[in-house]
Amino acid sequence: MLKAHSYTLAAIAVTFLLSACGVNPVTHKRELQFVSESQEIAIGQKNYAPARQQQGGDYIVDPELTAYVQSVGKKLAAVSDRQLPYEFVVLNSSVPNAWAMPGGKIAFNRGLLYELNSEAELAAVMAHEIVHTAARHGAQSMESGMLLQGAVMATGIAAKDNQYADLIVGGAQLSSKLISTKFGRDDESEADLYGMRYMKKAGYDPSAAVTLQETFVRLSKDRRSGFIDGLFASHPPSAERVAANKATLAQLGSGGIWGKEIYAKKVGKLKATKAAYQAYDNGVKVLSKGDTKTAVTYAKQAAKAVPKEARFQELLGDVALANKQNDTALTHYKRAIALQPDYFRPHVQSSIALKNLGRPAEAEPYLNRSSELLPTATSFYLLGQIAESRGDVDSALNHYKVAADSNSNDGKSSRASYARLDFARNPAKYLQTAAQANNMGEVFAVVYNPTTFSVTNVYVRIVHFDEKTRQPDRQSVSLLVAKRIDAKQRGQVALPGVRVFKQADLDLYRVIIERAALAK
């Protein structure tokens, strides 16, 4: 009796919530104010590729596995409430995670497939993600982001497994925001509820959504689990979710396909090579701490087990690059590119090796290709340096400007390089000036250098403005402020023959930078 009562209450609460946010409870599709359906599809099409690049790229050594995941996705998409240009990929990342982007674009990490044990569990996660995109959860949070910030930005926190998020520049920045969007609890409940309905409609046993949640609750107690940074970061498992799924199951009824054997068969190759990918992950980790010796052992172990994996060749290249063996590094990057031409990173790495070898002209095409795949501050900073070294200041400025968008070290270096190059053209844009007076009433032109570089031959003119008309009525000759002003330092020069004793009089003087040069 009590149970039945609380179910009714829950049902009323759900109906109320759905209607309160403008959702048709039958199709659960939201009517959005600013993001049209065609825009939403265009956003998905534009951002799907760069989003995959920043998550390790597509997992391509086992195309049969991808075809299998796609077939499960298609079955569920066919029974969804909204027809979209759905696409499904397996990404080459060990982090157990999956995501959906507006417009029907879905990705499953290799790391999540290790942890599942049946096609029905795969369908449970897949159906949940399909609801997120079919019900426009991502597009809706983009829209609320637009309302709040006045710009096309998704709300959300950068996912911990996205090591490239800080490096991305330009329009592709949106892609990293889209995949790190955290949905609200209502969206999550809706994705669980409709996801189980899709499972049932597609012939799967919706019980798998309950057992999977129970497994997740158990796994979430292990703080070291890779899930903490992956799926659980956006989908914290809870007893409430398990209970809600059990209630849905009671309505739908259990029974249907589990597909344990077919799943075991299809992911067999993947699970058999898990140790090689673990070795690779360890290698990347120790290399980032500078331990090239241990890194090379791990990389060789991985490459021996899966010779066709481009990421393993890339790691061998990274180790050689760290050891300043640029030619060896190039050989490995070449192999990585041959195995998987459409992943950005070995292209960037090749250009670094070529630049180290004093062959910048050969580095340029690699950087252009990598920027097409994923525009990063690293590649634009390098392009800027190469253009600058050949004396092409305009191109260098353009490249530095793009990279300056990023908060990474390469972004910071690009901002400094941009300012340095642009300074010669626009010194007044960079130097700060003021007219000041001392106790004796003598007037000085003071120049402060807020940049990161030293400047030289700083000349100013001091202009006086008429008190009434506010128009300039006289000006000094050109005055040398200082032979040299270092970064964060100031220089000054007196205006001869003038005395002021009131602030109001001093306010009538302005200091104009006439010219300055970069110190060599």
Beta carbon nearer to Zn ion, 226 or 384? 226
CB of 120 to Zn ion, least distance (A): 18
Q: Establish if 107 lies at the interface with Zn ion (CB under 5 A).
A: no
Q: Which residues contact 4 (CB under 8 A, 6 or more apart)?
A: none
Beta carbon nearer to Zn ion, 43 or 130? 130
CB of 80 to Zn ion, least distance (A): 15
Hey, is 157 helix, strand or coil? coil
Beta carbon nearer to Zn ion, 233 or 262? 233
Structure tokens belonging to residue 47: 């951002």
Running DSSP on this structure, what letter comes out for residue 204? B
Tell me phi and psi for residue 246, to 5 degrees.
-65, -40
CB of 491 to Zn ion, least distance (A): 59
- Segment near Zn ion (CB under 5 A); pick from 5-13, 181-189, 195-203, 297-305: 181-189
CB of 106 to Zn ion, least distance (A): 12
Amino acid at 359: R
Contact indicator for 213, 242 with CB cutoff of 8 Å: yes
CB of 137 to Zn ion, least distance (A): 8
Running DSSP on this structure, what letter comes out for residue 81? S
CB of 134 to Zn ion, least distance (A): 12
- Using CB under 5 A, count the residues that bind Zn ion: 2
CB of 61 to Zn ion, least distance (A): 28
- Segment near Zn ion (CB under 5 A); pick from 13-21, 182-190, 407-415, 444-452: 182-190
Beta carbon nearer to Zn ion, 43 or 125? 125
Please give the Cα distance from 454 to 420 (Å, whole number): 10
Beta carbon nearer to Zn ion, 174 or 191? 191
Vertex 386, ends 380 and 391: CA angle to 5°?
Answer: 125
Q: Is the dihedral of CA 290, 291, 297, 301 positive or negative?
A: negative
Q: Rule CB under 5 A: which of 185-204 touch Zn ion?
A: 188, 191
Please give the Cα distance from 131 to 233 (Å, whole number): 19
CB of 183 to Zn ion, least distance (A): 5
Report DSSP letters for 451-469, one per residue: SSS-EEEEEEEEEEE-TTT
Please give the Cα distance from 420 to 89 (Å, whole number): 44
CB of 51 to Zn ion, least distance (A): 16
CB-neighbour burial class of residue 144 (10 A; exposed 0-12, middle 13-18, buried 19+): middle
- CA nearest 492: which of 446, 450, 435? 446
Hey, is 260 helix, strand or coil? helix
Q: Which residues contact 435 (CB under 8 A, 6 or more apart)?
A: 443, 444, 445, 446, 462, 506, 509, 510, 511
Beta carbon nearer to Zn ion, 89 or 445? 89
Beta carbon nearer to Zn ion, 111 or 346? 111
Beta carbon nearer to Zn ion, 185 or 324? 185
Distances (CA, A) of 108 to 66, 228, 253: 9, 16, 28
Positions that interact with Zn ion (CB under 5 A): 188, 191
